[in-house]
A and B are shown apart, each in its own frame.
Chain A
Amino acid sequence: MSQSPDPNDAPGHGGREGTASPPPSFDAQILALLPQLRRYSRSLTRSDTESEDLLQDCVEKALTHRSQWQGANIRAWAYKIMTNLHLNARRAIARRPSVGIEEAETVAASALPSDPLARNRLVQALETLPKEARAVLMLVAVEGHSYQEVADMLAMPVGTVMSRLSRARQMLRQKLQEENVIHLRSPR
């Protein structure tokens, strides 16, 4: 990159180029994770506004507690922070002016599925799930974490993860069947 040497020897600038490519810094890694964290945040919450609030809290907490990061699997660590924030916090509604609403609305509009009605029902069905079961389902189905990773994140045995996952799936299935949203394969 075009980092020019400072003609006036400003301290703290320049002289960083020579070192052989260090691993991506903490902040760079968090930045790279933001898109998937935003997806996860939205999958846990009811609105774009709520989702952006959660994402913001998560980033804030990750930056504040960066010293607690052990240097391994920053992705799982960030997901853990977000999950805990979501499960533990009583979130006050609209307690801060949300920065990203306009962009979020744009994205939501472009996110309209081929069958908006079906997807809308799916999203509504999600609202009927217990928070923890929903988080487990999203971590597995959308975010692609293994059962063991989810167990570590939530500090619970894999067996508990499986029962939450099972519960979420059965509830969702039942709900959607009532609503006829997921079209079942033709019965034999």
Chain B
Amino acid sequence: MSESRPVSETDLHAYADGFLGEAERKRVETHLAENPEAAQMVADWQAQNDELRGAFAPYATPRPSDLALLSAGSAASRASAPSRLAMAAAAALVFVLGGLAGHFGPMLLEKTPVMTAMDALPNEARNAYLIYASEVRHPVEVFADQEAHLATWLGKRLSITDLKVPNLQTIGFKLVGGRLLPVADKPGAMFMYEDDAGRRVTVLVGRNGENKTTSFRFASASGIETFYWIDGDLGYAVTGDISRDLLQKIAEECYRQFPS
């Protein structure tokens, strides 16, 4: 026993915080046994620790909004690091997906070269889907009961004359509503649909600067599937957590209904 060394206040704190090894702990306990006032003080500190941990422990739980938080952070950091925006948003998204499935890491966009609008589209679509489709109370800004207003409003913001909100009733999906959101840094539109089982799909429409036309493309990550295509100067993406066959049907239906 190193009784020669006096017990310092730091030792007492370290004891209360559980930072001491076996021998040190014994030394402090010997000291406390002989110093009731110090013992009382340390006991109070430990009680404080317990109270504080108990008071704040409930905050240390993952929340559905964590994804949105990370995405918002990515979006904000875009301002200072523009080249990274798309990557960050996409990365945040995929990470969250991985997290939801209990797997971080293996499928991340580690180093993506310069991303074009076409590359960003499926990522932005997934991002929007993850953020908004899980919203219970505010999934959209304008609900389906104001469909005409929704179409005029978003059409105006995207400079699309006669924007039509696709009707997916024949496939079993009813319009929930829509919202304005940034797509590749420009105003974009998102429409949300829901089937009887409450499964949601989103349809994203954004301006495409490159003015090229592509065939249907398909992207998938952790069960969230996206069909996307570019038609002239507009890009489209259909996203959902449903079978690819069904999603493709919806995508084809949208393709038919959107003005070309």
Contacts and interface: CB of A to CB of B under 8 A. Distances in A.
Contact of A34 (B58, B62, B81, B104): B62
B63 interface: yes
A82 B220 CA distance: 35
A146 B222 CA distance: 38
Given A12-B119, A31-B99, A34-B62, A56 B70 contact: no
B217 A6 contact: yes
Contact of A27 (B72, B95, B118): B95
Interface residues of B, number: 74
Contact of B54 (A2, A36, A119): A119
A114 B87 CA distance: 45
A182 B55 CA distance: 14
A60 B77 contact: yes
A16 B56 contact: no
Contacts of A40: 56
B171 interface: no
B41 A173 contact: yes
Interface string B209-244: 000000111111111000000000000000000001
Give chain A's interface secondary structure class.
helix
A137 B52 contact: yes
Interface in B54-103: 54-70, 72-74, 76-77, 80-81, 88, 91-92, 95-96, 98-99, 101, 103
A173 B45 contact: yes
Given A27-B88, A119-B55, A11 B119 contact: yes
Nearest to A42: B59
Interface in A39-72: 39-43, 51, 55-56, 59-60, 62-64, 66
B106 interface: yes
Contacts of A141: 17, 48-49, 52-53
A contact residues, range = 35 or more
A39 B36 contact: no
Nearest to B225: A4
A43 B14 CA distance: 21
A166 interface: yes
B43 interface: yes
Contacts of B76: 60, 63-64
Nearest to A163: B9
B160 interface: no
A154 B215 CA distance: 55
Contact of B65 (A23, A26, A66, A100): A100
30 contacts: A1-B103, A2-B222, A4-B220, A6-B219, A8-B216, A10-B119, A10-B217, A12-B112, A12-B119, A13-B122, A23-B105, A26-B91, A27-B74, A28-B98, A31-B70, A31-B99, A34-B63, A35-B60, A42-B56, A51-B59, A63-B73, A64-B80, A99-B72, A113-B55, A138-B52, A142-B49, A147-B19, A173-B45, A173-B48, A184-B40
Interface of B: 9-10, 13-14, 17, 19, 36, 40-41, 43-45, 47-49, 51-70, 72-74, 76-77, 80-81, 88, 91-92, 95-96, 98-99, 101, 103-110, 112-113, 115, 118-119, 122, 215-223, 244
User: What are the nearest 4 A-B pairs in CB distance?
Assistant: A111-B58, A59-B73, A64-B77, A39-B60
